[in-house]
Amino acid sequence: WTEGTVADAENSLTELAALAETAGSQVLEGLIQRRTRPDPATYIGRGKVDDLGAVVLSTGADTVICDGELSPSQLRNLEQRTKVKVVDRTALILDIFAQHAKSKEGKAQVELAQLQYLLPRLRGWGETLSRQTGGSGRGGGAGGGVGVRGPGETKLETDRRRIRHRISRLRREIKSMKTVRVTKRARRSRNSVPAVAIAGYTNAGKSSLLNRLTGAGVLVENALFATLDPTTRKATTSDGRLYTLSDTVGFVRHLPHQIVEAFRSTLEEVAEADLVVHVVDGTHPDPEEQVRAVHAVLAEVSADRLPELLVVNKTDAADEDTLLRLKRLWPDAIFVSAYSGRGMDELRVAIEERLPSPAVEVRAVLP
């Protein structure tokens, strides 16, 4: 569910399809419905659920992915009516994050986010289970019979307790990993090495730019969320000053709050930077919306007051009209192509100009 025009919904759905493909799915068909608000019981309108059921049958799809966050009961109702697995945007994004997390910290952060998502949804899951296992004849009704629910509830409570336990343990672990990082960072700042954070919507070309700027071999994938674990590389200015460049988590519209929460410590690292290089995909149909989404996430971790250098990437593939429009919209932005190298020298200079000047030792001379 997206606020705005049908074109906004189409963009959002195209992105959802790309996300699903990143997660390894094959996308068969898209369905859009105009509504003022989601249906409380079935998310899409009840009539539209029949259309959806027909599409599922005719395409042989085994999963329905909804572009929004479904309540536990909406999810359950849709699964019952379509007879296939239903996944919402949040679960899909969590799944991709889980596939891409590589560092110990990244993995712990994803698991924390997944468990937080799962906890309030456990009831639906438990009910489905007890309905399936409760073959006593009484358990056929909605919610299972009295006799079926009893043991199910107990099991549910144990599961919940176990999950809460795991959540607090993960929180502790993430906290201690953060301490290590903070210490490293403190050492860097004592040596007054300026830090530049590369932020930007997912797939904008952050990793490619980092590679161009530093010659580092960072994985570049045409997949959303190739970057999960922050990579920090050293770079030097033309007059030989050292600074660091870090690639950050890919941002996406409606980033699930569980993700923002779990990745807070990684995202907060951006807030410690001296400069944010904000990369925008010049070939995207709605770059302004992407910029807004990134700003919203930066604001959540109080990184919105840092100096920002806007960089429009992929100028080799963007159309001229769009580039002219973006130049008028963002007169201070630097236009580059990580592919062809166009604009890279200008970008290096722009970064250097914005770095804090080298620390000057000040000594008080007392009379």
Q: Could you list the residues that contact ligand GDP (CB under 6 A)? A: 200, 202-208, 220-222, 226-227, 250, 313-314, 316-317, 337-339
Q: Which is nearer to ligand GDP, 338 or 351 (CB)?
A: 338
120 vs 118: CA distance, rounded Å = 6
Give the shortest CB-111-to-ligand GDP separation in angstroms: 22
Helix or strand run (H / E) with residue 247: strand 242-247
Q: Which is nearer to ligand GDP, 9 or 351 (CB)?
A: 351
6 vs 62: CA distance, rounded Å = 26
Buried-exposed string 292-302: b where 16+ CB fall within 10 A, e elsewhere: ebbbebbebbe
Amino acid at 216: A
Buried-exposed string 191-213: b where 16+ CB fall within 10 A, e elsewhere: eeebbbbbbbbbbbbbbbbbbbb
- What residue number has its CB nearest to ligand GDP? 222
Give the shortest CB-258-to-ligand GDP separation in angstroms: 21
In 3-state terms the chain splits into helix, strand, coil percentages (rounded to 5) of 50, 10, 35
Helix or strand run (H / E) with residue 293: helix 287-300
Give the shortest CB-220-to-ligand GDP separation in angstroms: 4
Q: Which is nearer to ligand GDP, 44 or 228 (CB)?
A: 228
Place of tokens 């759905």: 13
Give the shortest CB-100-to-ligand GDP separation in angstroms: 10
Place of tokens 């189409």: 10
- In eight-state DSSP terms, residue 70 is P
Q: Which is nearer to ligand GDP, 63 or 283 (CB)?
A: 283
Q: How many CB atoms lie within 10 A of CB 24?
A: 9
Contact 31, 56 (CB under 8 A): no
Q: Which is nearer to ligand GDP, 186 or 317 (CB)?
A: 317
Give the shortest CB-245-to-ligand GDP separation in angstroms: 13
Q: Which is nearer to ligand GDP, 9 or 226 (CB)?
A: 226
Q: Which is nearer to ligand GDP, 73 or 283 (CB)?
A: 283
Give the shortest CB-351-to-ligand GDP separation in angstroms: 17
Give the shortest CB-344-to-ligand GDP separation in angstroms: 10
Give the shortest CB-190-to-ligand GDP separation in angstroms: 30
Q: Which is nearer to ligand GDP, 134 or 287 (CB)?
A: 287
State phi, psi for 196 to the nearest 5 degrees: -115, 130
Q: Which is nearer to ligand GDP, 108 or 226 (CB)?
A: 226
Give the shortest CB-250-to-ligand GDP separation in angstroms: 5
Q: Which two tokens stand for residue 330?
A: 């963002």
Compute CA distances 275 → 45, 104, 202, 265, 355, whole Å: 46, 27, 19, 18, 7
Query: For 218-224, which contacts have Cβ atoms below 8 Å and span 24 or more sequence positions?
Result: 218/247, 223/22, 224/15, 224/18, 224/19, 224/22, 224/96, 224/250, 224/252
